[in-house]
Structure 1
Amino acid sequence: MVSKWSKDDALIWLSGGALVLGFLMVAGLILVIVVHGLGRFWPQELTLYELRDGRIVLGHETSRVSVRTAGLSGERSVAYRLRVRTGDRERFPAEYVWLEEGRVAWRDAPREAVVVEQVRGGDVFGFLESFVDDGTVVARGYEAVRAHYREQSPELERLRRQRALSIVLSFADGRQHTVSLANVHRIYAPNAMTTWTRIRHYMGGAWSYLWSPPRDQNRLGGVYPAIFGTAAMVILMSVVVMPFGALAAFYLREYGNPGPFLNVVRIAVNSLAGVPSIVFGVFGLGFFVYYLGGTLDRLFFPAELPEPTFGRGGILWCALTLVLLTLPVVIVAVEEGLAGVPPGLREASHALGATRFETLWRVVVPVVLPSILTGLILSVARAAGTVAPLMITGVVAFSAELPVDGTWPFVHLEREFMHLGFHIFDTGFRPDGGEASLPMAYTSTLLLLAIVVALNAAAIGLRSRLRRRYSLAAAGA
């Protein structure tokens, strides 16, 4: 008996340790995403470094690492290296530079240092020299240029169309750089900001991120088209998967005769839940895009051929592909709800003279409604985070058009669209983006994670609330 309890205790401790380890791993992953994602909009202080060899670098420090070195006598020492983002792609194409901290003669945080956020080309760090209007200098110096820029801000959208307006910056080493006003998104001086100004800047950056389109090849700007495209695809998928999944579950549980056929169908449904998502994408490409889309083009759009209309990737085919992917989730959730309906409810309904359909519609469906909504929300959560099948059925890195706009017929099911999950992949793993696009990838990951967690939390809360309501009603009956 002692030996048996020892083994049981060991198993309990092993299970508990595995649970704690898994929780810590998930918490660490979320912490990394939150720290890197939320810090993207906070204005970073610019530091001016002068090295002992005479070089001058302006930028903000992103990390400080220790490096062990060995001298001629064999003694080991620790040196530190600073990783600085320079905002000077002409001088540092990689945008980041490593500085030996021991070779820094002095450093300063000049209040006049500014960040110019460009529409294309990334951020530029420097000092405001002059404001130029059609070749004529109309303002010189930091204060004068900033004041003139603020005066033009109310008419900035109109003035941006005039390529003659520009701002002249000077880099840390004295070189001058001209930025066209048409390419200026925002100018701010982080070292001169107060705490309240930084908070306002942070909130404005977060708002712009959610409601503005991307710029500079998705490295900067917002993700509004990706959010809109993700929402439109999920809504379209839900409209299709919900009735099909619920009807299939009702047939399997209420109308189908138990036997080999139903067993095979249930095995197939459970097997679909374990199929890799890319397999659904290949099927969607071959069947939906090439076969159905090509057939629709030949029947309804012959004048547009050989240019395809529906015979290429689009939001409709992505939604139908995800219908196949999430259908098992809905069927299983609804079937579990049907299995939990007390048999006494059906028997009481039949005893009162209700038909089978009336019993199903008026008695069973209200009780199963929590499971139906749970299946819907879980399918939406899975669809929002799935990327692989969409990459080959209609998602693109950038699209200037939305699936829904003011052009007739207003809803364009044949259009390609942006998706938040693919946006993360594009910004985080593009070969030409470098490390400058990683903050955007972290922020988009945090946004997608928040959406998925919110949907799952809503599913759990809604299911518990409705089950409690109907269980109390059944107990009272």
Structure 2
Amino acid sequence: MKQQTLKSWFKSGSPWVWMTASGVSIAVIMTVGLLAVIATRGLANFWPADVLEADYQVPGTPAKVMAGELVQAEEVPRARLAGAGLPVDVNGGEFMTRELFKVGNREVYGADFTWVVAEWTSNLRTPQNLMVMERREWGNFYGYLVNVKENGQVIAEGDDAWAAMQQRIGRVDALYGQISKLEKRDIGRINAGLERLRLKTRKLEMNGQLDAAGQADLDAERAQWGAEYKVLEGQLNDLHQQFDRDSVTVRTVDGQEQEMSLGKVVRAYRPNTMGTGAKLGFYFAKLWEFLSDEPREANTEGGIFPAIFGTVMMTLIMAVIVTPFGVLAAIYLREYARQGPLTRVIRIAVNNLAGVPAIVYGVFGLGFFVYVLGGSIDRLFFAEALPAPTFGTPGLMWASLTLAILAVPVVIVATEEGLARIPRALREGSLALGATKAETLWKVVLPMASPAMMTGLILAVARAAGEVAPLMLVGVVKLAPALPLDGNYPYLHLDQKIMHLGFHIYDVGFQSPNVEAARPLVYATALLLVLVIALLNLSAVFIRNHLREKYKALDH
């Protein structure tokens, strides 16, 4: 009886339902768990953790004072510590605790992070006046504020020094914004104008068209640019003098004092005195800086806005390129091409292209787009700039085209499947009512196939947004000094190199000299890239469902 019941249970299909449900559950749990790990390790980096101060004494050495943020703690065997040369009593317990502290002060200690043995620390405390200073270079400084100086003269010390320093940091930050604006926008515009003038002069010389009158006009224009540059140079020098005016004297926890220009300081705060509300405000300010600012310290500090901008710009250009080619190719194969062996071979080739490794597309893009096509464009239209390449070098255009070739099979396959699902009776009914084949295709077939077309396009965009390997060859770099879109003619610089979120993860995670400092940014950037791709896929589902509801009436 029991065997018969088990047999009927298998015949009912319930085991397979449970098996598939278990597979889906495991996939969901793994996905949510991965996102939770990435979010926890990435976003926690922006929280202002308390700074600990402690006495630390390795057996047999003098005691010293240390301070920093506790990053992680782990249990390690005593034998392992003894093997590393530490004076550990191997007859004690089996394990000891070691802790990783972010101690900063790289110019003093040589490294931002250090491992300590927890059993050798004592008298842990959180002094209220222990501060953290984020710097534009050399990472964080941990220590105490001694005094504030203006032009080398002490203007505040003791309890008044903190408020005076905060006021001057705000002033210096405003000056830094003015200097950056002057250098990047105004002086950048002049440099771009002078470069265009140089190329124009060389082109006239190469064509033998540079006469005395033309030379005089060029000299007058060059003099006008030079005069404008002199004015801006004077303004820039004045700003730099004001920028370097203020400084502070700081002291490390072990008593070493040094003077530091406030021009090198991004912000200073005392996390041990901050309440929950203040820490939340600081957290969201740091998160906004991460999304909107430029990177610094070899991409281990600051923000990733250029990488976000480069990723979005390249993906949009790729979408504009891939949409007409992919849709038109699918329309021809399904609606106009004769269905024979050649068409089947083409379909097989398209399907196989979707499985070609991405790095192969990168090699093709470098060889054909950059060297062949870009080199030809330079010889035909930018000969005056040679031997310096204009389009004969990796850049935004070639990166977008390479991704377009990578994504076009997905668009072709999705569009063709959408066209194949349109009932033949609808086409025949439209033709019977007097519509031409083109009108039938444009007003009946394509609207009904648009959900599949849009889904294919956005899935292709989602795939392209996460690619890294081909982009390393055709236009993405570690650090791009300027955005490809600015106020200088021709405004969108397709020849310019860009940053990319995927390559930023690779660079910070595997090429950074400061691994511990880079690790949280790797997680944060990875989370942002996952969210972008997830948003694109959710957009695909929303658009597909909207279009399906819109044209549902045509199915009946």
**Range of TM-score over shorter length:** over 0.9
Q: Distance in 2 between matches of 1:396 and 1:146?
A: 40
State the SS of the aligned residue for 2:470.
Answer: helix
Corresponding residue for residue 66 of structure 1: 75
Could you list the per-position Cα deviations for residues 240-274 of structure 1 after superposition, in whole angstroms to 9, with x for gaps in the alignment? 10000000011111111110111111111100111
Shift of 1:158: 5.8
- Over 3 Å counting, the alpha-carbon distance change for 1:151 and 1:354 in structure 2 is same
Corresponding residue for residue 530 of structure 2: 449
Could you list the per-position Cα deviations for residues 268-321 of structure 1 after superposition, in whole angstroms to 9, with x for gaps in the alignment? 110011100000000000000000010011111111111111110100000000
State the SS of the aligned residue for 2:390.
Answer: coil
Could you list the per-position Cα deviations for residues 150-192 of structure 1 after superposition, in whole angstroms to 9, with x for gaps in the alignment? 3334532465533242222211101123322111111111111
Shift of 1:67: 2.5
TM-score (norm 2): 0.81
Q: Distance in 1 between matches of 2:42 and 2:512?
A: 21
State the SS of the aligned residue for 1:90.
Answer: helix
- Over 3 Å counting, the alpha-carbon distance change for 1:40 and 1:75 in structure 2 is closer
Shift of 1:21: 3.5
Q: Distance in 1 between matches of 2:245 and 2:26?
A: 60
Q: Aligned partner of 1:307: which letter?
A: A
- Over 3 Å counting, the alpha-carbon distance change for 1:413 and 1:350 in structure 2 is same
- Over 3 Å counting, the alpha-carbon distance change for 1:138 and 1:297 in structure 2 is same
State the SS of the aligned residue for 1:388.
Answer: coil
| Structure 2 residue 103 is matched with structure 1 residue 98 | no
Answer whether contact 2:149 2:246 (CA < 8 A) is retained: yes
Corresponding residue for residue 156 of structure 1: 172
Could you list the per-position Cα deviations for residues 301-357 of structure 1 after superposition, in whole angstroms to 9, with x for gaps in the alignment? 111111111110100000000011000111111112111212222121111000000
Q: Aligned partner of 2:109: which letter?
A: F
Higher helix proportion (structure 1 or 2): 2
| Structure 2 residue 429 is matched with structure 1 residue 348 | yes
| Structure 2 residue 120 is matched with structure 1 residue 115 | no
State the SS of the aligned residue for 2:107.
Answer: coil
Shift of 1:14: 5.2
Q: Distance in 1 between matches of 2:273 and 2:121?
A: 23
Could you list the per-position Cα deviations for residues 406-454 of structure 1 after superposition, in whole angstroms to 9, with x for gaps in the alignment? 0011111100111111111111111413210111111111111100001
Relative to structure 2, which stretch is displaced further, 65-74 or 86-95?
Answer: 65-74
- Over 3 Å counting, the alpha-carbon distance change for 1:74 and 1:51 in structure 2 is closer
Q: Aligned partner of 2:75: which letter?
A: S
Which of 221, 230, 243 is matched with 2:324 structurally? 243
| Structure 2 residue 27 is matched with structure 1 residue 54 | no
Which of 128, 145, 161 is matched with 1:145 structurally? 161
Q: Distance in 2 between matches of 1:61 and 1:55?
A: 17
Answer whether contact 1:94 1:434 (CA < 8 A) is retained: no
Shift of 1:6: 5.2
Q: Aligned partner of 1:88: which letter?
A: N
Query: Which ranges in structure 2 are unaligned for 5 or more consecutive residues?
Result: 80-87, 177-239
Corresponding residue for residue 40 of structure 1: 45
Could you list the per-position Cα deviations for residues 63-110 of structure 1 after superposition, in whole angstroms to 9, with x for gaps in the alignment? 111234479796644322221110121343332112221111211011
Q: Aligned partner of 1:150: which letter?
A: Q
Q: Distance in 2 between matches of 1:430 and 1:144?
A: 43
Shift of 1:12: 5.7
Structure with bigger gyration radius: 2
Corresponding residue for residue 348 of structure 2: 267
Corresponding residue for residue 378 of structure 1: 459
TM-score (norm 1): 0.94
Corresponding residue for residue 381 of structure 2: 300
Q: Distance in 1 between matches of 2:92 and 2:149?
A: 57
- Over 3 Å counting, the alpha-carbon distance change for 1:131 and 1:235 in structure 2 is same
Q: Distance in 2 between matches of 1:321 and 1:4?
A: 56
Query: How many residue pairs get matched?
Result: 474
- Over 3 Å counting, the alpha-carbon distance change for 1:227 and 1:297 in structure 2 is same
- Over 3 Å counting, the alpha-carbon distance change for 1:448 and 1:46 in structure 2 is same
- Over 3 Å counting, the alpha-carbon distance change for 1:189 and 1:311 in structure 2 is same
State the SS of the aligned residue for 2:551.
Answer: helix
Answer whether contact 2:105 2:138 (CA < 8 A) is retained: no
